[in-house]
Structure 1
């Protein structure tokens, strides 16, 4: 009788799973895009160099949405908004997904800029990185404006000075990124940031990030990719096939 009961419960659980249509999904995303009444949302991941749909969500009158997808380990996914006929470039929202429950809230008029993502420690780390990175972007924009002005005036000495400042700024941004990735190498965001932001940095710096990873992170999606990238570069730089 006990065996029959256990078997019945197992079948019931399987049926319930199939009825929900969630299968082996381990990430439940809920959210709301204020002002969105019509359109589609796509949950996407990068495969090789292309974005591939994991889920398609039709929006018809209600701005709330939910999605169930499966990920093997924390990874950067993208929520793409298909507005229909509009040509807005503010349509793609990257978010660092983790198994469990996450929530994404935004508005149709500022889909990327006003997005709020909760439920992922890796995403918090990634947002902190972007805040620091913005300082370097703003400084570079200021130097670009000065470069334009100096070019119009034909001020060669000033152009040389600006070029030197830009070179130093780039080095500081790279060092900031490497240090940030190294200090957060206990999370998947660490190797991801190294790969996506400074893949062409001096190999010794990337090695430092890799050696800072825990065994768990080293076996994760981005940990494996970082190690492979480092090994491939070492072979290429040494002339090996």
Structure 2
């Protein structure tokens, strides 16, 4: 009787392991140089970072992780569930997404393909990085001008910085509106248009397609814009 129970228990365990539900998003790839470790697929749910799937790698640098995606959102690929050290942030969506990286440079410059939203985000980030570098140059030049007590140069740098900031907002707004049928548009609106005017935010929000408006980030962006409207009306 004990043997029968043991066999049944083992059968249930094997069935449970082999019946892992595959989602409509498959994240696969290779982490070159990985000898040992656990990869976690994570995402934010409300204000908590939740582990969706995981895989332990022992001498095998390839992986497959899955999730069911109702609305495209940002995911984390991490070692041992720790996002503060090494992580890959990517836009998850239905389909197969391939992520290739190296263990010694994990998260610095991963190759990601298969996600349309991620491809658009990469395109945006490439230009956005130029604005970030310009901002750092302004900070450096302003510091040196103030140290030399060059007030004329300080004023000119402030004017030039304001012009650059306006160009960044205009570029970001245009990028979001041009790609208003992708969920990356409201995501960029939420994360990058923090210094845009209410009029600009409202224009971007109204440009979203119905599909995007119903997405996770579409709803959040709409709430964000409406909250600003409410505050300004008080």
Which TM-score applies when normalising by structure 2? Answer: 0.85
Q: Which runs of 5+ in 2 are unaligned?
A: 1-14
RMSD over aligned CA atoms reads 2.3
In structure 2, distance between residues paired with 1:91 and 1:61:
19
- Mean Cα displacement is larger for which, 61-70 or 199-208? 199-208
Aligned to 1:20: 19
Q: Please point out which of 143, 149, 154 is paired with 1:154.
A: 149
1:160/1:215 CA distance change after superposition, 3 Å: same
Aligned to 2:115: 120
Contact 1:90 1:110 (8 Å CA) reproduced: no
- The alpha carbon displacement at 1:59 in A equals 2.5
Q: Structure 1, residues 165-193: CA drift from partner, whole Å, max 9, x if none? A: 22221121111111100110011111111
Does 1:198 pair with 2:159? no
Secondary structure, aligned partner of 1:93: strand
Q: Please point out which of 161, 173, 179 is paired with 1:178.
A: 173
Q: Which runs of 5+ in 1 are unaligned?
A: 1-15
Q: Structure 1, residues 6-43: CA drift from partner, whole Å, max 9, x if none? A: xxxxxxxxxx99833025x2111111111122222221
In structure 2, distance between residues paired with 1:18 and 1:56:
13
In structure 1, distance between residues paired with 2:32 and 2:208:
39
1:90/1:165 CA distance change after superposition, 3 Å: farther
Does 1:143 pair with 2:138? yes
Aligned residues: 220
In structure 2, distance between residues paired with 1:62 and 1:210:
45
